[in-house]
Amino acid sequence: MNLANAVIAAVEHGGRYYYQCTPEHLRAQGVPDAAFLPVVKAALKAAIDAQAEALRGLLITAGTGQAMEYQESQAQAFSALGEPETATAERYKMLAATIGLDVDPVTGAPATDVLGVARSIKAAYDAWETAGAAIKRGRLSAKAAIDAAPDLDAAAAAFAAVEWPALA
């Protein structure tokens, strides 16, 4: 990220407040980089979080209700797979909702029962867990590198060096 033209929202230095300034302008006013480095780091870390969320959005549907649906479906899938003899549509309503829609990874065809849906959800969860962990690693590693940066150039380099996973 080129910080030369970045607009820094607000900086206080020597009893004065500077709003919507570039690093060049702040320096011209005698504001040392150390005075606005924390603000720049916070902005870079927020941008890392936004990039991570955009990557997650390629894999899952956003929304609180959607997250609840995913969690309940996962819980039902793991329960059904743990006790297959109890896997009925009446007991596992969230799973039953996608019979004929979810692809059973065992058959490669639309699931014909609750267990087929459960296997589909487990396969999706396993893929999400792998991708989600890689996104988390990239996000937290980048933020730690930004935090450790001693100056603006190092912070920008840390931001540019983030390693995101390739998503299928």
pLDDT exceeds 80 at position 5: no
* Segment 28-40 mean pLDDT: 93
Residue 10, domain member (yes or no)? no
Residue 137, domain member (yes or no)? yes
Q: What is the pLDDT of residue 3?
A: 76
* Segment 116-131 mean pLDDT: 97
Give the number of domains in the chain.
Answer: 1
What pTM value is reported for the model?
0.84
User: For the chain, what is the total number of helices (H) and then of strands (E)?
Assistant: 6, 2
Q: What is the pLDDT of residue 8?
A: 87
Residue 9, domain member (yes or no)? no
Both tokens assigned to 1 = 């990220």
| Full domain range(s) for residue 40 | 33-168
Q: What is the pLDDT of residue 35?
A: 93
